[in-house]
Amino acid sequence: DSSQVDVHWQPYSTLCHACTLKYNFIGKYETIQEDLDLLRVQLGLNTTNWNIKNNFSTGKTKENYKLLYSKLPNHLICNLKHFYQEDFKLFNYQVEDYLIDNQKVQCSSQSYRRFSI
């Protein structure tokens, strides 16, 4: 139940109301520079000093997640996959993309255990 989750861990899908609000723009952290460039054009802004690549480091983020997730037991990865499943769909992510060698996670109803964040 995501309604009782600390807001820092709550799925975005429960915070952004994607099904009830019509968004004109959705950016992603992984493509932040390209997204901001597109937003600048859409808003008709002439400024070209929106270069923020130096302020964000996305190069090793996925590798860091892979190392972290490689230490988690399968049932916990299944729980995370289940808990954030709407976010994965909404933002076009695959859990396997964040696992070493795109390892497949085998989840069943027995894999899920109640956990709180």
Cβ atoms 1, 109 nearer than 8 A: no
Q: Which DSSP string do the residues of 68-116 spell out, in sequence order?
A: HHTTS-HHHHHHHHHHTHHHHHHTT--GGGGSGGG------TTT-----
List all residues 6 or more positions away from 91 whose beta carbon is below 8 Å from its beta carbon. Answer: 12, 28
So where are the chain's domains? 2-102
Least confident of 29-33, 42-46, 109-113: 109-113
Q: Is the pLDDT of residue 56 over 70?
A: no
Q: Return the higher-pLDDT residue of 84 and 61.
A: 84
